[in-house]
Amino acid sequence: MFQFFSNESLRKLVVGFGNLFNDVYVGKFDDSGEIVEKNRVPITYSPKEKFIRRIQEPSTITEDVRVEITLPRLGFEMLGMNYDPTRKVNKLRQTYLLDDDGNEVIDENGMLSFNYSEVPYLVNFGLYAFTRTIEENLQIVEQVASVFSPEFVISMNFNELNTNVNVPIILTSTGMSELYEGSFLEKRLVTTSFSFIAKSYIYGRERTKPATQNPLITLDDE
Q: Is residue 155 part of a domain?
A: yes
Ordered per-residue pLDDT tens for the chain, 222 residues: 667 767 788 999 999 999 999 999 998 888 887 888 889 999 999 988 888 888 777 655 545 545 567 889 999 999 999 999 998 877 767 776 666 666 776 766 777 777 777 889 999 999 999 998 899 999 999 999 999 988 999 998 887 667 788 999 999 999 998 876 655 445 678 999 999 999 999 887 777 677 776 555 444 444
> What's the CATH code of the domain at 26?
3.30.2000.40
Q: Is residue 218 part of a domain?
A: no
Residue 177's pLDDT is 87
Residue 17 neighbours by CB under 8 Å, 6+ apart = 76, 78, 125, 154, 169, 196, 198
Q: Is residue 4 part of a domain?
A: no
DSSP state at residue 69? -
Q: Is residue 145 part of a domain?
A: yes
Residue 58's pLDDT is 63
Q: Is residue 72 part of a domain?
A: yes
Q: Is residue 142 part of a domain?
A: yes
Residue ranges making up the domain that contains 175: 9-213
Q: Is residue 135 part of a domain?
A: yes
| Count of structural domains, the chain | 1
Q: What is the largest CA-CA distance in the chain?
A: 86
Residue 117's pLDDT is 72
The whole-angstrom separation of Cα 23 and Cα 217 is: 46
Q: Is residue 35 part of a domain?
A: yes
Helical H segments across the chain, by residue range? 9-19, 48-56, 134-147
Of the candidates 196, 46, 54, 177, the residue with the CA atom closest to the CA atom of residue 126 = 196
Yes or no: say if 173 and 181 are a contact pair by the CB < 8 Å rule. no
Residue 219's pLDDT is 42
